[in-house]
């Protein structure tokens, strides 16, 4: 029995150990062939093997999204291998400085903007011809940071707010070509990175990781934190024909920590 992405071609940019991997694997589980892009080639090869075990094809393309020639190579390689692209998922993140806007180095602020926003725009533009041919979709992975303000998070919020505005504007521009553009804003994702961070906080405060988790989860309606596969399902929904009438939207997946 086919899945909701049966025989589609999914490009996943930013395949890390948590969310990017889950998007790729769950996409393959739903019937898609997957193009895997990130800077770490060894991780891509591991995920490609897992996709093959699911009976789908995977193309590994080590890519630094901030390098124009590498982004161009990714777009060409995807179409050369599969002959089509149905969805582009942009999950890559270069973390901007964690510093107040009044003190952050402006060159570092600019670099964070270029790495996160301009690189996503460049890549989307490169895939427009293929996505137009398939009436495809773009999904930008954003962040809950756009829903609140916190000291030190200004540079990150600026970059993600710009990414959200860009996705909405692209939805308007590309809609007449049949291309949908949406965003997903995860809350705290209970994966490898957050486990490490909660462990760091716990050691600093002399409390258990479980205590940090409970404190954080208390702020959510469901009393828990979303896991990578749950964020991935929301991303893949927007990338799929199930969301064929949805564009220009941002779907928050945070177990009810913030309402929008």
Catalytically annotated residues: 156
Task: Give the separation between CA 211 and CA 135, rounded to whole angstroms.
Answer: 47
**Angle between the 154-174 and 106-113 helix axes, to the nearest 10 degrees?**
30
Task: Give the separation between CA 233 and CA 249, rounded to whole angstroms.
Answer: 16
- Output phi, psi for 58, to 5 deg: -135, 140
Q: Say if residue 183 is exposed, middle or buried (CB neighbours under 10 Å; 0-12, 13-18, 19+).
A: buried
Q: Where do the DSSP E strands lie in the chain?
A: 9-13, 33-38, 58-62, 87-90, 137-141, 180-186, 250-253
Strand order of the β-sheet with 180-186 is: 58-62, 33-38, 9-13, 87-90, 137-141, 180-186, 250-253
Task: Give the separation between CA 200 and CA 207, rounded to whole angstroms.
Answer: 10
Give the closest residue to 63 by CA, choosing from 105, 126, 5, 113: 126
CB-based contacts of 34, cutoff 8 Å, min separation 6: 9, 10, 11, 12, 24, 27, 28, 51, 56, 57, 58, 59
| Largest Cα span, the chain | 56
Q: Where do the DSSP E strands lie in 66-144?
A: 87-90, 137-141
């Amino acid at each position: 029995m086919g899945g909701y992405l049966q025989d589609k071609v999914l490009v996943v940019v930013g395949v890390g150990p948590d969310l990017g991997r889950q998007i790729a694997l769950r996409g393959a589980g739903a019937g898609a062939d997957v193009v895997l892009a990130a800077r770490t080639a060894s991780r891509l090869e591991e995920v490609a093997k897992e996709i093959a075990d699911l009976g789908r094809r995977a193309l590994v393309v080590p890519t630094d999204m901030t390098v124009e020639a590498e982004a161009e190579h990714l777009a060409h390689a995807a179409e050369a291998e599969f002959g089509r692209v149905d969805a582009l998922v942009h999950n890559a993140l270069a973390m901007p400085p964690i510093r107040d806007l009044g003190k952050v180095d402006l060159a570092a602020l600019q670099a964070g903007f270029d790495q996160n926003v301009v690189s996503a725009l460049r890549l989307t533009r490169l895939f427009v011809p293929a996505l137009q041919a398939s009436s495809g979709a773009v999904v930008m992975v954003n962040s809950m940071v756009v829903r609140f303000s916190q000291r030190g998070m200004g540079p990150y919020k600026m970059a993600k707010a710009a990414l959200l505005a860009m996705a909405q504007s692209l939805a308007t521009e590309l809609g007449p070509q049949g291309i949908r553009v949406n965003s997903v804003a995860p809350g705290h994702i209970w994966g490898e990175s957050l486990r490490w961070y909660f462990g760091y906080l716990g050691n600093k405060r002399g409390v258990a990781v479980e205590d940090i988790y409970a404190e954080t989860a208390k702020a959510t309606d469901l009393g828990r934190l979303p896991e990578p596969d749950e964020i991935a399902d929301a991303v893949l929904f927007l990338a799929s024909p199930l969301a064929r009438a949805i564009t220009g939207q941002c779907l928050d997946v945070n177990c009810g920590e913030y309402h929008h």
